[in-house]
Amino acid sequence: MSDIAPNPATEADLATIMKIIPHRYPFLLVDKVRDVVARESAVGIKNVTFNEPHFQGHFPGAPIMPGVTIVEAMAQTAAVLVGMTIGYGEKAPLVYFMSIDKAKFRRKVVPGDVLELHVKVLRGSTKIWKFEGTAMVEGQVAAQAEFAAMIDASATA
């Protein structure tokens, strides 16, 4: 699929994340990815700060991270996992959402929280991958979802 060799690393810092996925401020929602097990799982870290633009309107005076951005952060973690599994570099493929299922939101995520984004591969193939994600804050489940993504090797960031 890719002409780039897989990376056996188990962590991705911000510079590595930015090589794998095209997202940038204000839409880059993962600061670090750790505990990467190729084709299996990874944990993304998002340090939630008041300076993020969505807090200006969601909600003024009582900032809460929107659920859709939590799911996006899980998906970005999954995209890094895929990139580290299949290889990344100058020709890193783009990863697109295909579906989001069973999304549930259990706890508010607010500035100052450290969001842990646990993603697990349910199915991985050449083009289509399905994941289970759980977002946690201080050991409590904040959100859960299953989602699928398509890997497009013909489109690169």
**What are the catalytic residues?**
58
What is the distance, to the nearest Å, from the Cα of residue 56 to the centroid of all Cα atoms in its chain? 23
Distances (CA, A) of 69 to 29, 36, 42, 62, 106: 8, 22, 18, 17, 14
